[in-house]
Structure formats: structure tokens, C-alpha cells
Structure 1
């Protein structure tokens, strides 16, 4: 605080600055940061230059201490931790570097953002720091373990140019090119780094799927032999691959694995039961023969005059039929019905992409399960639609599999009979509905004619009475 020389003696004091020292640098200066120590002998000043380096000087003598280099583009922002042990630099090369101020060694270099990093700030009394970037996101980092804790995006519509952290670290304020300020308040909710990594991977995967518009597939409703008229895009699938369709494909693969495992377990259980029943029958027959032989020997050795009891009657006690405990993962369905239930749960607009993402190994296994479903008369029409789409999509690969191709030919003979029966049943029901409609219309017409004829009859009766 000082009073200007030309001011009146009773005028108020005002804040001012006076030039004390000057240090010329070899290049343009982009950023300057002081350390936080109260000891003037340990106080240092860090200067970021346009030549992509950071030079550190002693504050008391302005003597050169150490030079930090490694960034490929100029450093846009930097900060020093509260204990003066760590310096963090953020550069236009999208990297963040952590330096030790004791010897100037680089602890870690982190690829932090998808665009230039405009600002970096430490949280007071910690080694946690925030970074703001032109990619419209803000990241929260752990400087000791070199891990990203949290990513905040989709809050600003423009590039994030700066941020400030409160003294107690309870909130952060950011500013953006879209002329907005955003305040982020710390909550008591726990953050798990693994979950955040999974969310980021899912988001990246979904963005990649949305941007991937080159893959095309035949539509499920398109018949074989139809040709497009006009644009070639008409032959492409109307649906786009999304994270929901990929998850639907994964759930379908899990259902196929579970159904095949359960079918194999049921087959093994039935085979073991048949083997046990056969062994039990052989043992019962052997016991019967031994008992009969013992009875004959007893009859020969019996004393005259003694009465014998007739033990020839065999008490046939059949063993109780063993039942296999159901698999709780099937939700009470049989293996085939569980696969059908999983297919039915997929939303119609995700069905095509869910079938497209299946590897051909799973496609072949799904086709065999669909063949069993159709042979069991379960949702024949729906299974045929799914089967036809898979056949169109993997036509050449399926034709190359001789065993699968023979199964399809055998199914076609059975399926034609089933479809004809369904068509006849639908035609019969349709004819019955038409008959009922015609009967109702005739009754309604007769009722209207009767009502219309009633007033004329009354008029005739009146004329007869008057006469």
C-alpha cells in the first residue's frame, strides 16, 4: 500500500505495484508459477517458454536452477504442489508431465486428453490435480499413482480454457469458449477407478460403433431375389450398431452357451439314469434267480409233514425315478425355450445388429438350436425369420458346411408341412371370422328393417280403427 507523490496528504491509500527486478529470457514466456514455501531461500519461480521448455530459477538471486524439457509443443499451463515437491506441466501436445523439483527429474508423462490442455491446477495440500482441455472435458488425476480418477465431460459446449480450485478443494470452477462458467461441487459419493475405466471404454466403443457406417447387411424383411430400385442404400440395414445391440448379441451368446451346456448335462444325466436302470434290472433278475434256487433247495431238504410257506411271490419294488435339479440360470425355462426367450427380449430394431455381431461359430450353433425349436413347433414363424436372416447373411459359409447344409435340407421338408398347416389353420380361422361378421351384419340389417317397418304397421292399424 502506498500514496502517490502527487496525492493530497489526507487521501486514502491504494494498492500499487512497483518494478523491482527484471530477468530476460531467451524466448517468449507463456506461463509463470511461484513455489509455495515461506522460506525466501527455498522459493523458486518456474517459467514456461515458447521453446517447449520450463526453466526454474531461485527467487532470491534469480540464478538458474534447472531446465525441464520433454514436451513436443509449448507448455500452456503449470502448477506447483503445496509441499513444493512436485511440478505439473500441461502442454499443447495433449500430455501432462509430473516433475520433481528437487532434481528436476520427470516422474511420469501421461497422455491426458484428445486435444490441447489449456489449464492445470493442484488441489491444495494434496497431489491431486485437475486438467482442462480443448476437447471440452475436465479430468481429475492422482499425482502419486498417476491414474485418472474422474472425467467430467459434456458440461461445456465449447473448449474449456481455464479452471480454478477452491482453497479447501470443495469445488472447482471452469470457464469455456461457450461463454459459460460451470461449478463442480465435491460430494460424498465414492468413485471407483475400475468402474470409471469401464464406462470410458464403453463410451469409446459406442462412439466407434456409431461412426462406423460402412458395414451393411441385408434387411430381415427383404426376400431373396428382390432387387433394389434407385438408391443402393435401400439394401442396407436400417439399424445402426449401438452398445445396446452389442450387449444383446453378448446376451444371446451367453444364452447359447448356457443352453448347450444344459442340453449336454441333461443328455449325460439321462444316459447315467438309463445305465443305472439297466444295472438295477440285471441285479433284480439275478436276485430273483438266486431266491428261486434257494427255494428249490429248501423244498428238497424239507422234512416230511412240515408245511411250507409260499414265498414265490416277488414284491416288485420299482426304484423311484431320479429327477435332475433345474438350473436356476434358465429362469424356469427349458434350454431351447430359454434361447427363444432371449431372442424375444431383444428389441426389434436391435435384432439385426445383434445377429450380425455374432461370430460364425455361434451362428452355426444358433442355427442348430433354431432347427430344434422349429422341429418342436415352438414359435415357428419367428424362428424362421431369424433363420432366414442368418442364411442370407452367411450364405456362402453355411453352404460350405456339408453337415449343416444337409440338416437344413431335412428341415425344409418338415418346415414346409408345418407352414402349410399354419396357413390352413389361419385360412380356416379367417373364414370363420368372415362368417361371424356376415352373420352379425345380417342380424343387424334384419333388426333395422324390423324397426323401419314398425311405424307403417301402426298407421295401418289406425286407419282400420277409423274405418
Structure 2
């Protein structure tokens, strides 16, 4: 196998142009600053933005093949305001926990569908994730493993939230149910069935005593939760002939089979066997009738938004405010009754607090565009900050106040405090180009043209323009020429950020449906350009210097040449060869025509496509031309005879959108609807490498003049740079690597075929882990270590030490070798790795665990491995004569070692608490001494000042 040194690998470089994607935005507290930093998903990354400086302070990449769907910061520790970690859910089912100080990721894999919701427990030790597959998994962040998988919903889980004062998890789903799970028994003990449509979100308020849920209508339903402490008297009417006593165990809701008696209106839901009483308090109306897309609350203010740009705010009143408001309302009712001449006594039910006394509507906020997500935070002075993520790749910070009154409709909209949109385009990127020095990248979309510095990926110039369809950088790197959908040509100056020329270049007739300048190409000498549009004309233009009336100097302009070419249909693409010999024109009548540049005479006509060609390009020497079509194929032609050298079928699924040759080579890049960028060799007709990263259609790409950089832009509004490295690329090895990745993806799809474990069939709570290629690798490592251990034990220590013992783990003890291998397996993968081991190897694992416990090595790890191995293989082990003495020895040794470990941890914990108390006492004493010294110093200065004043008075 020879190394093909002519191929160098392209790797992913910087990604910019993104402000926020997905449907989630969260406030993050850093350096004790609340309401300043925002965490938003950006395709496969998470961005932390500084709103005040409008800069990106941190980029978190979990190296996961999927896009971020939801983010959730860890609650601050007691005595702190900062969020130390951030959890992110991905579309491939992964959950990644990032350290906000170092950016290190911790990855969990356990879902078959995309993660739809995340939540931290109040202590920040566990993360609960809900998925599109209807399952909820609780992860232990400290031990880095899954705790339990909860099954019961039938549909997408829309929200998961922990209760603050109880070990209870609340989940909602599109199956119209809200379930309450006891995380100690892993059981669903209550199901709310008061919704007739999908439950999209909910929040818990007032120390988990109120639940506000949003569905597909204009109402927010409010529920009162009251947990019953102690025993509950169960009163159930028993039918005649049925002697079975009522039992709480039989009333547990497992799969939603038992439906509680739901009475409509604001009455209580009858379910006497539950430990919680749920009462429907009523509903509060939103300002819009669309479905609820998100509910967020910081405990004081509730923010709700739908599909539109409106954010509804509701203030949660304190107990004192509720009592005051209820008293005022009762006083007004008594006065109204006296004025009416009736009895002024008001019933006791009306004197009590009502729903209107607990929640007060604040002024509605209106954003500049449709919303994808909101977050709310209230400050001590009563100010309310609302972060809004728009669907046009921008962020906004809206403001309100808890004392604000409901305004009129004319004053409903408030100007945002800050808008973060400069680092990206509002619409998808349609055209991209490099400058001649490759130090800047120029992009154009439907709203603006931007110039980016390639080094720091910052936008240095932003100029509003029409909807762009094509773009070229004029020689000199100071101007850009943009062809627009309205049929105009715009010449933009980078230095002054002005549009110098704006003329109608291609104006179609009245019968035409599509309009626009679809393609612009520079001539070989750079003194002019060629444009083609919907008027079935190819026009020639040349640059010239004209006098600027405003400044009195000269500026660049262009004028139409006397030549023009009439074609048979609308022009889709035009290109000029490098030597200035040929002009290629692609039209919508399924053909490309090559003309001589000087005489515009026909040279070749290229046929054979089922759909029009959307892009084409000449090689630098002008001997090859490649065309890309909507029929997903690439065609390579020779310009000498117009012969088709090769047809590359299924190059891009859905169609090819753009392609460009690498200068001075016969290699080219192409992009398409499948979201990938591919490199090809036009000499041997092989695909070199596939670059993946975009989400959605890749609309355009450009290759720098030196070929060291490739830039692409597309539907996800991201601009991605691909950098050429000095690493040689071997085609055979690249194909093997692609085949391996494909097998891993297929293996990930079949990982849902879970191993059968006794007790899990039909249960609500099952194991959280799944089998992946990582767990299979871990199992192979364990098997290899067990083989070495068996060889060393059977030889009695006379065998030559294995290379794993000598060079890798540097130990002479085979038992320590197995222990080190078990330690290096990720905690989240250890359970599945033990489960896939064959039965004879499980016996060896039990022997190894017995040896580890006997020596007191890694007692916690040994206990965890033992529990998993016994749980999965218990029937077979009980029937095995060989395993019986080992199990008896483990049963006698494990409790003793666990008790020793527990005693050691308790002793250390007590010692740490003692040291903490002593440190606090010393600090308090020191603070008291310092305060006393400051008071004495202040008094001394005051006496000195008084004496000085007295001396001055005596002198006078």
C-alpha cells in the first residue's frame, strides 16, 4: 500500500456566524454576575455569550455526532451565585455535562431518541433527561453513571423537573399525562389526567405546592399539590360481592392503566390511595391562543411563550401579599354588598385566597421576531430580565418590572435592552467568497453582506443588501459584486460600507415566474465579469473608474459591454475558463453550452441530465469542466472534444448546490442537500474525503487561491472553515475508516436490542445504560485482562510477564492488572461491559472480585462489579457447582468490607466537619477582632479631629 502524498487531509476548523439555534436559552451566572451571560445551543456546540460586551466568552464542544437540543445549568452551590457545570442534550440521545471552568465534557449515552428536556436536582448531584422515545433517565454526575430508567410515558417527554423538598421527579409528555415519580422506590405514584391535549411544559412554584402546566390552548392550568404526611385513611366504595380490601399497592399507577376519577372544573381529583392531594385551582389566560412552547420561572416570575413573538409574564405573590390582596378583595365585596342593600356578610370561602390572589399578570413583552426559547430572572430591586432566542439567529434581552401595570395595546411592545445579532446572518448564507490574500471571507444572505476576518472569525463589515444569489470579490479586495433575486447588481465598498452601484441588470418579461441574477463570474483578467439571469440573456460588463460627486475623487463602477448572448432558457450558471478561451452557460432546458470567449461561437453542447445543472466550474488549465445537477450527480467533461469523462452518481443526496476546483489542480470540492462537503479527484474519478458538520443544506462553498482553506455556508446559518493539514491521506485507509464509522452507527441503531435481565420485563424502572461500541471495546479489554490473569495463575507465577503487565500497567501482580483495567473503564460503560461477558468469564470475574475484597483493593468498585454480575447471571450461577463456594465466600466477605468502608468514610466526614467548625470559629474570631480594631481606629481619628478643631477655635 503506497502513500499517496498528493492527497492531504482537510480537517474542520473554526465555526462562526452562529448566535443560537435549537429551542433553548438559559442564564448562566459567572463571577457572581447574574443576568449577564447566556448559554445557547449552536448546532453541535454550546456558546456562552456576554450580553453586555456582545462577545463570545466560551465555546463548549462535546465531540458528539448530533446537534444540541437543550441546555441546563447546574444550580449554584450554597453561598455562591455561580453555575459550575452545564448539561447539554443532543439529538443522538447523548447527555454531556461540561465544566464551565475547564470546558471538560462528561458524556452519558442511554437514549434511543433525541434528548428533549434536562433538569438538575437541587443539590446538583443528579441530572434527569427526558427523550423523544418516552423514557426518562436519571444520571449520577458524581459517580458518572446512570441510576435508573423510568418507563411509563407513551410519547415525547416534554419536561422533567425535580421537586425542591422531596425526592420526587415530575414529568410531562405528549400523551397528555403528568407523572410524579418517587426516586427512592422508582415508582410512579400519581398521574395527572386533567389535560385533553398534549402537555408541552410546566413549572413548580411555592415550594412545590403549585404546578402550572401549559397545553395546546390559551389556558395555563394551575394545580395545588399537598403531600400527606403519615398514614392516610383510605375510603373506597366496594361493590357488593367483592371482599378484597382496599390497598395502596394495588392503586399504584404503573403504565397509566388505572385512571383516577377526574371531575371537571375546579374540583379535586379523587384518588384517596395516593400520598399527594391534587386540586385544580383554575386557569389563567394567556394573551395568545397558540400552543405553549415554553414555561420558565425563577420562583418569583413565570415567563410563557408560544410560537409567536409574545412573552407573557406572571408574578408569583408571596404569602403576605396574597393575604393582603385577599383581605382587600373581601373588603370590596362587603362594601359592594352594603351598597346594593343586601347582607354585608361574606362567606368564609370568599374570604380565603383565590387563584387571582396568587398570580398577577405583568405587562406582555413583544420580541422583534418569533421565539425559540426564553429564560427569566428577577433581581432584588424588582427588575425582571427576559432572555429571548429568536428564530432569525439572534438574541435579545427584554426588561420589565414587578410593579408594572398592564398597559394599553398601543404601548404593549417595549424596546429590548440589548440585541445580539451582529455575529451572524438573519437568514441562511447563500453566497461565500475568499479575498485574494485569503485573510478575509465575504458572505451574503437575504438581508446583508458581511466581511469576516479569517484569523479571529469576527465580522468587520456589515452592509445591508438585497437577497443575494451570487457573489464575487472584485480584484483589489476592496469591493464585492452581488447578484440579487430581484434582478439587480450591487457593487459594495468594504471601506465605506456603502452600496456604490445598484442597477437592474436582468429584468424578465411579465410572463416569467422567477426573477433574479442567478450567476456572476469574473473574466480571466479580472477587468470585467459576466452575468446570467432569468431574462435568458448572458451579459458582459467591465469595470471602470468614475468621478465621485460627493468626495470629488474617483471610485469603482461598472458598465455594460456592447456584447450580449441570447440563450434558449433562463441561465442557471455561467463560468469563464482560466485562460480566457471558453465561456460555459448552464440553462434550465437541461443542457450546458460551451462558447468561445472571443467570438461567442458555439464550441460544445453537453447533454444527458434529467434535471438542470445548478453549478459548474473550469479547472485552472481549462482542460476540464465539472457540472453538478439537481439529479444528485456530478459529470466531468473534457473541453477539447466535449466528451464526458465520468458520471459520478449519487454524489450528494437531494442535489448538488455548488462546486469549485482547487487552483492549479484537478481536484475539486462539492456540496449539496445532504449537508456534506466532498473532495474529488477529476483524474482518477475517486472521492477523496467527506467533510461533515453542517445541519441541513449546504448552499455554497469557496476555495481560497492557495487551496489551504475551504469555506462553506448553508441552511443552518453557520460558516465553517476547513483547513488543509500536512497529514497524508491514503484512500484505502479512508474507506476503511468510513466503513468502521458506518458499522458503529448501525451498531448504535441496534443497541436498543437490550439484553434480557430478570425482573425488567414490563417494569417501570430498568437499567439506564445501553450497549454501544464503546462498551464492546471495554468488554474486550476486560476479557484480555482476564486471559492474562488466568495464564499467570495457572502457571503459578512461572510464566513470563505479559506485555500489558510490563509496559502498559507496570505491575507484576495479575490481580492488580485486572483491577487497573476495571478502573480505566468509564463508569457509565462498566455495567454494560460486565453484562456482555460470557458465563465462564463471569466466574473468573467473581474470583477476581473475591481477591480484591480480600486485599481491600477498590472495595466500592468490586462491590459494583459483583452486584451487576450476580444480578444478570444469578440463575446460571446458582445452578453451577463451581460458583457455589465463591458466592458463599463473597457473601461472608462483602458485608464486612462494606462496613469497614462505611466506617472509614463516616470517620473522615466527621473529621472534615470538625475542621470546618474550627475554621469557621477562627474566621469569626478574626472578623470580630478586625471589626473592633476598625471601631477603635475610627474613634481615635474622630477624637484627633475634635482636638484640632478646638485648637483652631482657641487660636481665633
TM-score norm. by structure 2 comes to 0.31
SS of the residue corresponding to residue 391 of structure 1 reads helix
1:32-51 correspondence runs (5 A): 32-38=574-580, 43-50=581-588
CA distance in 2, matches of 1:352, 1:81: 56
Report deviation, 1:248: 1.9
1:420 aligns with 2:892: yes
| 1:373 is the counterpart of 2:848 | yes
- In 1, Cα distance between equivalents of 2:752 and 2:675: 28
The equivalent residue for 2:629 is: 91
| Residues 249-291 of structure 1, C-alpha deviations (whole Å, 9 max, x = no match) | 343344355556x45xx75x67xxxxxxxxxxxxxxxxxxxxx
Q: Which residue is 1:344 aligned to?
A: 823
Q: 1:350 to 1:388 in 2, by over 3 A?
A: same
Tell me: CA distance 1:52–1:253, structure 2 relative to 1, closer, same or farther (3 Å): farther
Structure with greater helix percent: 1
Equivalent in the alignment of 1:411: 883
Between 193-202 and 76-85, report the one with greater CA deviation: 193-202
User: Going by fraction, where is strand more abundant, 1 or 2?
Assistant: 2
Per the alignment, residue 192 of structure 1 pairs with 729
Displacement of 1:81 after TM fit? 0.6
- The CA distance in 1 between the partners of 2:557 and 2:826, in whole Å, is 71
Superposed CA deviations along residues 21-67 of structure 1, whole A, max 9, x for unmatched, are 54543x554223333334xxxx3443434455544455546336343
Distance 2:812 2:682 in 1: 52
DSSP 3-state at the match of 1:37 = coil
CA distance in 2, matches of 1:253, 1:428: 30
User: 1:86 and 1:416 mapped to 2: Cα distance?
Assistant: 78
Q: 3-state DSSP class of the match of 2:866?
A: helix
Per-residue deviation at 1:205? 5.1
CA distance in 1, matches of 2:690, 2:607: 28
Mapped to 2, the partners of 1:429 and 1:32 lie a distance apart of 76
Question: For residues 29 and 206 of structure 1, what CA distance do their matches in structure 2 show?
Answer: 44
Within 2, Cα distance between the matches of 1:336 and 1:424? 21
Distance 1:324 1:250, change over 3 A: closer
Q: What 5-or-longer segments of structure 1 have no aligned partner?
A: 4-11, 271-321, 435-467
* Partner of residue 31, structure 1: 573
How much has 1:109 moved relative to structure 2? 1.6
1:286-340 CA-partner distances (Å, limit 9, x unpaired): xxxxxxxxxxxxxxxxxxxxxxxxxxxxxxxxxxxx9543222233255555344
Give distance in 1, aligned partners of 2:565 and 2:602: 12
1:218-270 Cα distance to aligned partner (Å, 9 max, x none): 67xxxx557766x4xx33x312445533432343344355556x45xx75x67
Residue matched to 2:752: 214
SS in structure 2 of the partner of residue 245 of structure 1: helix
State the shift of 1:18 in Å: 3.9
Q: 1:145 & 1:255 partners in 2: Cα distance?
A: 46
1:140 aligns with 2:615: no
Aligned to 2:867: 385
Unaligned runs of 5+ in 2: 1-541, 545-553, 854-858, 907-956
Q: CA deviation at 1:120?
A: 0.1
Distance in 2 between residues matched to 1:345 and 1:106, nearest whole Å: 53
Using structure 1 for the length normalisation, give the TM-score. 0.58
Q: Please give the alpha-carbon distance, in whole angstroms, between the structure 1 residues aligned to 2:849 and 2:822.
A: 14
Deviates more, 1:80-89 or 1:142-151: 142-151
Question: Relative to 1, partners in 2 of residues 1:127 and 1:133: Cα closer, same or farther, differing over 3 Å?
Answer: same
Looking at both structures, which has the greater relative contact order when contacts are Cα pairs under 8 Å and sequence separation is at least 6? Answer: 2
Q: Are the aligned partners of 2:815 and 2:851 in contact in 1 as well (CA < 8 Å)?
A: no
Tell me if structure 2 keeps the 8 A contact 1:78–1:87.
yes
**1:238 correspondence with 2:776:** no
Aligned partners of 1:374 and 1:415 also within 8 Å = no
Three-state SS of the structure 1 residue aligned to 2:648 is strand
2:560 to 17, 38, 41: 17
CA distance in 2, matches of 1:244, 1:125: 43
Do 1:148 and 1:193's aligned partners in 2 also have CA atoms closer than 8 Å?
no
Question: For residues 128 and 122 of structure 1, what CA distance do their matches in structure 2 show?
Answer: 6
Say which SS state the counterpart of residue 30 (structure 1) adopts: strand
CA RMSD, aligned part only?
4.4
Contact 1:58–1:65 (CA<8 Å) still a contact in 2? no
Post-superposition offset of 1:419: 0.9
**Given the alignment of the two structures, is residue 252 of structure 1 paired with residue 782 of structure 2, yes or no?**
yes
Map Cα deviations across residues 409-465 of structure 1 (whole Å, 9 max, x no partner).
Answer: 33124422441354467679989999xxxxxxxxxxxxxxxxxxxxxxxxxxxxxxx
For 2:575 and 2:590, the matched residues in 1 are separated by 16
For the structure 1 residues 429 and 190, does the alpha-carbon distance in structure 2 shift closer, same or farther, using more than 3 Å as the test? closer
Map 1:166-177 to 2 at 5 A: 166-177=704-715
Partner SS, residue 409 of structure 1: coil
Greater gyration radius: 1
1:254-273 equivalences under 5 Å are: 254-256=784-786, 258-259=788-789, 262-263=791-792
Kept after mapping to 2: 8 A contact 1:81/1:122:
yes
Mapped partners of 2:850, 2:647: distance in 1: 63
- 1:126 equivalent to 2:665? Answer yes
Deviations 1:343-382 (A, max 9, x none): 33222221233345x4xxx624422422543675757645
Q: SS in structure 1 opposite 2:870? A: helix
